Amino acid sequence: MAQDGGVANLAAMSARLKGCWQPPALPRDSAGMEITVQFTFRRDGSLLGRPRITYERHDATDGERILYRTAVMEALQRCAPMPFTSGMGEAIAGRPLTIRFDDRRTPPKAREEKRAWLKTKTL
């Protein structure tokens, strides 16, 4: 239920959504993913309709896509209902929102890895 003292602006809503985000566990060499979802809230902070994935990294595997789609939907479920202030609930109700979750993982560059090996001493 919407309540005063809750989420009063888009920045606070975005921060709360990202706080609910738990990226999936992936193999160490995975590149990770950028994924964007579009969704709508009701005035009371509950989700209206079904969220829709609008972007995924083009070279992701089907398995990665499923893991990330699931993680995004779980994040939305964890955060809903969003505790909007009454003014924010009125302003946002029924408006489509889009948020990007960025879990790109970059493996260490060969140069950095070489430097790490040079600093390591063996006994």
**How high is the mean pLDDT in each 10-residue block of the chain (123 residues)?**
70 93 83 91 96 92 92 95 96 95 72 55 52
pLDDT of residue 32: 81
Burial class of residue 82 (count of CB atoms within 10 Å of its CB; 0-12, 13-18, 19+) = buried
Helices (H), the chain: 10-20, 62-79, 86-92, 110-119
pLDDT for res 58:
87
